[in-house]
Amino acid sequence: MGDIAEDEASFYSNAEDYWREVPPTVDGMLGGYGSISSIDINGSKAFLQKFLGEGEGKTSPVRALDCGAGIGRISKRLLLPLFQTVDLVDVTQEFLDKAKPYLGEEAKRVGNYFCCGLQDFKPENGRYDVIWIQWVIGHLTDEHLVSFLRRCQKALRPNGLVVIKDNVSYEGVVPDEVDSSICRDLDIVRRLVDSAGLRIVHEEQQMNFPKEIYQVHILALR
C-alpha cells in the first residue's frame, strides 16, 4: 500500500508542479490551444441553456461553481453571463490571483476563490445550481473522482446539475506524463459517474475542435 500512496502523492504533486510553471493566460489554460476558446464556450453555452430557466424541472441561473477554474476563462465567458454568482476553485493560487483582474468588473459577482485540489475540496451542501467541471477530472484518481462527485451531488440545489466536460480516449486509460494526468474512455467515465450515484441526463460531443486533439464530451448529471 505504501507504493500506491506514494504514487498517488506524486501524481498530485507532479501536476501541481506542472501548473505552477504554466503562464496565467487563456493560451496557458488551454495548453497552447487558445484559439479554440470561443468554439468551446459557444458549445458549452448551447448545452447549458437547454436546462436553465424558471419553472418546473428547470435549473435556476443563480449560483455556479467553476472547478479547476484556472484564471477564470469559463467563469468570464460562460458562467458569469448566465448566473448571478460564481465561485471558483483551483489548486494554483497564482491563477486565482490573476482571475480577479482578468474578470474585471464582473469579479464583484464572484462569491469565493477557493485554492484547493478537487480531491480535498468539499463544496457547501445545497449551495449550487450548476457545478461545472471542465478539463480537470484527469487530475483525479478514480476513487477521488467518485468521492468528489458524491460531494458535488450533495452541494446541488433543487434541479441542480453537475456538468463534466472533458477529453475522452478511444479505449482505456491513457496517461500523460507531461502534466501528470490521465484520459479515460467514455465507458469508464460513465461507470465512475454511476458509482458516485449520479445519472446522466444528457450527453453530447463538442464539435468543431481540431482533429489532432482528443474527442471532448459534455455530460449533465444529477
Cell numbers describing residue 117? 485540489
Of 15, 61, 44, residue with least CA distance to 134: 44
90 part of a folded domain: yes
The model's pTM: 0.97
Nearest-10 Cα torsion for 99, 100, 105, 107: 80
Q: What element of type H or E holds 9? A: helix 2-20
CA-based torsion, 59, 64, 68, 69: positive or negative: positive
Helices (H) and strands (E) in the chain, counts: 8, 9
Binding-site annotation: residue ranges for S-adenosyl-L-methionine: 68, 73, 90-92, 118-119, 134
Q: Specify burial of residue 56 (Cβ count, 10 A radius: 0-12, 13-18, 19+).
A: exposed
Residue written as cell 476558446?
Answer: 37
Residue written as cell 480577479?
Answer: 100
Cell numbers describing residue 188? 469508464
pLDDT in tens, 84-98: 999 999 999 999 999
CB 109 within 8 Å of CB 66: no
Which amino acid does the sequence have at 164?
I
1 part of a folded domain: no
Estimate the crossing angle of helix 186-195 against helix 142-154, to 10 degrees. 50
2 part of a folded domain: no
CATH code assigned at 152:
3.40.50.150
Largest CA distance in the chain: 52
User: 1 falls in which pLDDT band (50, 70, 90)?
Assistant: very low
Which amino acid does the sequence have at 215?
Q
Q: Specify burial of residue 111 (Cβ count, 10 A radius: 0-12, 13-18, 19+).
A: middle
3 part of a folded domain: no
Tell me the residue range of the domain where 25 lies. Answer: 8-221
Binding-site annotation: residue ranges: 68, 73, 90-92, 118-119, 134
pLDDT in tens, 150-205: 999 999 999 999 999 999 999 999 999 999 999 999 999 999 999 999 999 999 99
pLDDT in tens, 25-44: 999 999 999 999 999 999 99
70 part of a folded domain: yes
124 part of a folded domain: yes
Per the structure, the count of domains in the chain is 1
Cell numbers describing residue 91? 489548486
pLDDT in tens, 45-75: 999 999 999 889 999 999 999 999 999 999 9
